[in-house]
């Protein structure tokens, strides 16, 4: 099986795992796989920080929440002082998650789309966030998950006008879980510089066992 075909198949394993969280816990942080509410809110703030760094101050911004689940990030954004600046779109493979999101936010655009199969169907956005997409690998091997990660980033980067943010589990831990995706920062940095952009930042300072990558289209000199 080619790496491309494998990556197409393997991300459905992760979707199925996430839907099992929803079935067990409902529409809350545990229903998307986050064990702690406050930590989930912190992740949303870290994603917002990257967005504000990439987009010119005061500018209206259209944001894609890739793997939006039941749109918890949208709910978070609506509580922020920048809410009026943000035009939000959610995307997910799971109709179960999207049904909840659409019920809560009937005037918001939500897309059900596999961008690896139909990249041409995805519009362009100012900024793209991927929260929790690359933190668990479930039954996938590291190699399968890394192939999926690279292919997804290659597909999404041309669709981001200003930047992108995503998180992954860190290697700077005392022990690693087999079902999580602990991605070495040097491995990721080499890929980003070679294939996407050399304008990136790794944020490893917010107290969780993960880090967030901020990718910028232009040098971030603010």
pLDDT at residue number 222: 67
Domain count, the chain: 1
Tens digit of each residue's pLDDT (9 = 90 or more) over 89-137: 999 999 999 999 999 999 999 999 999 999 999 999 999 999 999 999 9
Residue 21 belongs to some domain of the structure? yes
Tens digit of each residue's pLDDT (9 = 90 or more) over 36-95: 999 999 999 999 999 888 888 788 999 999 999 999 999 999 999 888 899 999 999 999
Question: At 168, which helix (H) or strand (E)?
Answer: strand 160-169
Read off φ and ψ for residue 29, nearest 5 degrees.
-60, -35
Residue 48 belongs to some domain of the structure? yes
Beta bridge partners of 203: 212
Instruction: Report the pLDDT averaged over residues 152-165.
Output: 98
Q: The CATH number of the domain where 45 resides is what?
A: 3.40.50.150
Please give the model's pTM, rounded to 2 decimal places.
0.94
Residue 98 belongs to some domain of the structure? yes
Which range of residues forms the domain containing residue 46? 3-216
Residue 41 belongs to some domain of the structure? yes
Q: Annotate 12-54 with DSSP letters as a single string.
A: HHHHHHHHHHHHHH-SSGGGGT-S-HHHHHHHHHHHHHHHHHH
Tens digit of each residue's pLDDT (9 = 90 or more) over 160-198: 999 999 999 999 999 999 999 999 999 999 999 999 999
Residue 222 belongs to some domain of the structure? no
């Amino acid at each position: 099986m080619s790496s491309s075909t494998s990556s197409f198949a393997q991300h459905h394993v992760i979707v199925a795992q996430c839907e099992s969280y929803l079935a067990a816990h409902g529409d809350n942080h545990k229903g998307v796989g986050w064990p702690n509410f406050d930590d989930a809110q912190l992740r949303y703030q870290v994603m917002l920080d990257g967005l504000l760094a990439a987009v010119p101050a005061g500018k209206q911004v259209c944001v894609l929440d890739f793997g939006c689940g039941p749109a918890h990030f949208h709910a978070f954004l609506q509580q922020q002082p920048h809410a009026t600046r943000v035009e939000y779109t959610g995307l997910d493979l799971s109709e179960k998650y999207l049904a909840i999101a659409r019920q809560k936010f009937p005037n918001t655009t939500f897309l059900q789309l596999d961008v690896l199969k139909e990249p041409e169907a995805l519009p362009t956005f100012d900024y793209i966030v991927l929260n929790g997409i690359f933190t668990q690998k479930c039954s996938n091997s590291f190699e399968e998950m890394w192939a999926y990660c690279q292919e997804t980033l290659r597909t999404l980067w041309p669709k981001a006008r200003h930047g992108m943010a995503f998180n992954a589990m860190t290697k700077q831990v005392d022990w690693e879980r087999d079902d999580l995706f602990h991605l070495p920062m040097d491995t990721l940095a080499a890929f980003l510089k070679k294939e996407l952009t050399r304008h990136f930042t790794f944020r490893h300072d917010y107290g969780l066992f993960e880090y967030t990558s901020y990718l910028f289209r232009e040098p971030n000199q603010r």
